[in-house]
Copies of this chain bind each other. A is one copy, B any other.
Amino acid sequence: MSNAETAGPAAKRKPDISPERCDYTKFLDIVSSKWSALILYALEDGPVRFGEMGRRIEGISKKMQTQTLRQLERDGLVHRELTPSIPPVVDYSLTPLGRSLIGPLQELKRWASIHHGEVMQARDNYDRTLERAD
């Protein structure tokens, strides 16, 4: 308290929100990549093999599938089980930690399914209003 930094009358002064401290940022860090949630969904009903998963998720490449799975595995959300036969068999499944994410994720899907129309309409409106301003 030695510093003459006594706050002004408006009260709020110094930063109280930061990316590093925000838990939502931590969440994004884990599952904001394009394919991560999609992979979690594919695993929702039980273990799935790599190839099967690839066929179920439209448009994913082997590279992105592998890369995203590695991240999820590294974060402890997904378990990888290799059966070293020839050809090899690799099964992926949710860990308990991974499964604990399904609930919150479904909340978001609900929000989006309910409100996405409003968002699109707001965008339209915003864009058309700008056009008229030329």
Binding site for B on A (CB under 8 A): 10, 12-19, 22-28, 30, 32, 34-35, 37-38, 41-42, 52, 55-59, 73-77, 97, 100-101, 103-105, 107-113, 115-116, 118-119, 121-123, 125-127
Contacts and interface: CB of A to CB of B under 8 A. Distances in A.
B23 A75 contact: no
A75 B122 contact: yes
Contacts of A38: 17-19, 22, 24-25
A116 B23 contact: yes
A74 B108 contact: no
B37 A119 contact: no
A111 B18 contact: no
B104 A15 contact: no
Given A22-B38, A126-B73, A56 B121 contact: no
A52 B119 CA distance: 27
22 contacts: A12-B56, A13-B55, A17-B41, A17-B58, A19-B35, A22-B37, A23-B109, A23-B110, A23-B112, A23-B116, A24-B37, A24-B105, A24-B108, A25-B37, A26-B116, A28-B34, A30-B112, A76-B118, A76-B123, A101-B115, A104-B107, A104-B111
Given A23-B109, A127-B74, A15 B118 contact: no
